Chain A
Amino acid sequence: MQKLELNEISAGYGVEEVIHKISLKIIEPSIYIVLGPNGAGKTTLFRTIGGILKPFSGQIKLDDADLFDSKDARRRIAYLSHLSALPEEMTVFNALKYYADVEGGDIEHSLDLLNLSDLKDRKFSSLSQGQKKRVSIGKIFLRERDLYLLDEPTSNVDPKISKEIRDILIKLSKDKFVLYSSHNLYEAREIGTYLILIKNGELKFFDKIENIRAKQYRVGIKSLNDISNLLPESKFDNGYYVVTVDNPTTVAKIINDLVHSGAELSEVRELDNPLQEFFEE
């Protein structure tokens, strides 16, 4: 796939329009983080791009194929919702087989990729929430797609599995388009290359995350010795000397000066996530 293009897409449920005239063009395989408060329209956007909801107006194109005129185009998209969307009464293997029968695919590949082989004979309804999530993710890897729409894929998953899923997605994004909604701003910043911000059903921001500039940066500095006299404008909070700067490049100079002044630094960390400020604006 070379591009996903949304032209003035408006969509919703019944007569209620939830997303309004969203236009964006995605041409680079990467992870696109979709952020927005609850009710902003993220799920509606995913459902519309996924071909589940028909838009009220506008057009979605995958390469040059109109999404709603082409079943083949829709088959190139994987959609992972909040719900497991798997037959609860089946075993893990049979639940995946159910979808493999519908749309084709390699069950063993999914089982291996998500480390599900040990669970394959367990009844889906008997699994923990985290295990269910893994199986649910497994179904979208039954066959290869070009575009992956993932609505909070790491919710209800323990940190270890969460990392495994992120690693899979990072690898996947080398040559696939991954749209990933998350409320975890640190996770978003860690894996995302682009940010798509949705608020009140409108596209508010679409750019590379590295281009996001916060109004101010709070940096926490830990030192083995007392450096309060070297940082008179800092505040001491939770073991950190907290310095607020306008530009992250200033931090390097502060650290350099501290080291040359005899500070024995043990840790330097950014205390706020620039996405947080962006999210709450």
Chain B
Amino acid sequence: MSFWQATIRRSVRLSRTYFILGVVMSVFGTILSNMSSFIPANIINIESTSIDFMNSIPLASVALLSLSALIFSTPVVMLFVFDKNTGVLEYLLSTGLDQIDVFKGYVKASLSLASILLAFSNVFNTAIGIYLGTSLGLVANKVVLTFAMGISGVLLATVSMMAFSSLQKSQMGANQPLGTMIGVIPMLPAFMAPFLFPSYAMVIVISIAVVTSLFSLALLLLSSRLIPREKLLP
């Protein structure tokens, strides 16, 4: 078992509350995603507004499903702070690892956890969507957008959190929630875009996901230069 796989196992043991919260939010996302299929059309007064609720609400649920992945992977970033304070990161450096190796281990772990939840929620969501007669195009769009936004958001949150936690002067990981908040920022347009720019929602969300991923990867690769080894010491 490699370092990142061991990190996944440790994260799962560290706090189950986040996993439960992530799953619950994922269920809510799935319900929201398919709500337009099982709520009678006359409840939503479609003719009084120009917004296409039937298609916008399922796309807006992408943000909620992405957020559930972020919450699901939060124990990994908590573990990073914990390991820094208990000297585990210092010992890992002493085994010959560089700081980029350490960062990559935690990033891989958080992305893996996020992928697991996203995979399950998408399978579940797709199955329900097909059962309720949602168009295959919309179902496919939701899958692509959820993965793109979820993975990029988790990547940004993990990298930001490690950067903030490493650079803060005091211990305790007080900056850890800051990274999570930053990970939420790119998800906000995904909430609004389907309502404000329904025709371009897909393009907007994909573009934000690509930019977020590229920015996060650049930050990760630069981390060995931006964050000196001493910042990983307790």
Q: Which residues of A contact B (CB under 8 A)?
A: 13-14, 47, 50-54, 71-72, 74-75, 77-79, 81-90, 98-99, 101-103, 139
Task: Find B94's partner among A51, A72, A89, A90 (CB 8 Å cutoff).
Answer: A51
Q: Which residues of B contact A (CB under 8 A)?
A: 1-3, 5-6, 10, 13-14, 83, 86-88, 90-98, 228-230, 233-234
Apart from A83-B234, A85-B90, A87-B88, 6 more pairs, CB < 8 Å = A72-B96, A83-B90, A87-B86, A90-B10, A98-B10, A101-B5
Decide if the interface of chain B is mainly helix, strand, loop or mixed.
helix
Please state if B10 and A83 are interface contacts (CB–CB under 8 Å).
no
Task: Find A52's partner among B2, B5, B83, B229 (CB 8 Å cutoff).
Answer: B229
Q: Known contacts A13-B230, A53-B229, A85-B87; is A103 also within 8 Å of B95 by CB?
A: yes
Please state if A51 and B91 are interface contacts (CB–CB under 8 Å).
no
B108 → chain A closest CB, angstroms: 14
B3 → chain A closest CB, angstroms: 5
Bound form: Cα–Cα A75–B93 in Å: 10
Central interface residue in B10, B14, B94, by most chain A CB within 10 Å: B94
10 tightest A-B CB contacts, nearest first: A83-B87, A85-B87, A79-B94, A85-B91, A75-B96, A74-B96, A103-B95, A71-B96, A52-B93, A101-B1
Bound form: Cα–Cα A81–B229 in Å: 16
Q: Which residues in B have their C-beta under 8 angstroms from that of A71? A: 96, 98
* Number of A-B residue pairs with CB-CB distance less than 8 Å in the complex they form: 75
Q: Which residues in A have their C-beta under 8 angstroms from that of B92? A: 102
Q: Which residues in A have their C-beta under 8 angstroms from that of B87? A: 81-85
Please state if B90 and A51 are interface contacts (CB–CB under 8 Å).
no
Please state if B95 and A47 are interface contacts (CB–CB under 8 Å).
no
A8 → chain B closest CB, angstroms: 20
Please state if A50 and B94 are interface contacts (CB–CB under 8 Å).
yes
Please state if B88 and A51 are interface contacts (CB–CB under 8 Å).
no
Bound form: Cα–Cα A54–B227 in Å: 12
Q: Which residue of B lies closest to A72 (CB)?
A: B96
Please state if B88 and A102 are interface contacts (CB–CB under 8 Å).
no
Q: Which residues in A have their C-beta under 8 angstroms from that of B6? A: 98, 101-102
Q: Known contacts A81-B91, A85-B88, A85-B90; is A52 also within 8 Å of B96 by CB?
A: no
Please state if A103 and B96 are interface contacts (CB–CB under 8 Å).
yes
Q: Which residues in B have their C-beta under 8 angstroms from that of A47? A: 90, 233
A50 → chain B closest CB, angstroms: 5
Q: Known contacts A52-B229, A54-B229, A83-B234; is A77 also within 8 Å of B94 by CB?
A: yes
Q: Which residues in B have their C-beta under 8 angstroms from that of A77? A: 94
Please state if A101 and B94 are interface contacts (CB–CB under 8 Å).
no
Please state if B90 and A81 are interface contacts (CB–CB under 8 Å).
yes
Q: Which residues in A have their C-beta under 8 angstroms from that of B233? A: 47, 52-53
Q: Which residues in B have their C-beta under 8 angstroms from that of A52? A: 90, 93-94, 229, 233
Please state if A75 and B1 are interface contacts (CB–CB under 8 Å).
no
Listed A/B pairs (30) with beta-carbon separation below 8 Å? A14-B230, A47-B90, A51-B96, A52-B94, A53-B229, A53-B230, A54-B229, A71-B96, A71-B98, A74-B94, A74-B95, A75-B95, A79-B91, A81-B90, A82-B87, A83-B86, A83-B87, A84-B87, A85-B86, A86-B86, A86-B88, A88-B86, A89-B13, A99-B91, A99-B95, A101-B2, A102-B2, A102-B3, A102-B6, A102-B97
Bound form: Cα–Cα A14–B87 in Å: 19
Q: Which residues in B have their C-beta under 8 angstroms from that of A53? A: 229-230, 233
Bound form: Cα–Cα A14–B229 in Å: 10
Bound form: Cα–Cα A77–B182 in Å: 38
Bound form: Cα–Cα A52–B13 in Å: 28
Q: Which residue of B lies closest to A77 (CB)?
A: B94
Q: Which residues in B have their C-beta under 8 angstroms from that of A103? A: 95-96
Bound form: Cα–Cα A13–B232 in Å: 11
Bound form: Cα–Cα A19–B10 in Å: 37
B31 → chain A closest CB, angstroms: 34
A96 → chain B closest CB, angstroms: 12
Q: Known contacts A52-B229, A83-B86, A85-B86; is A139 also within 8 Å of B96 by CB?
A: no
Q: Which residues in A have their C-beta under 8 angstroms from that of B5? A: 101
Q: Which residues in A have their C-beta under 8 angstroms from that of B98? A: 71
Bound form: Cα–Cα A98–B2 in Å: 9
Please state if B229 and A101 are interface contacts (CB–CB under 8 Å).
no
Q: Which residues in A have their C-beta under 8 angstroms from that of B88? A: 85-87
Q: Which residues in B have their C-beta under 8 angstroms from that of A89? A: 10, 13-14
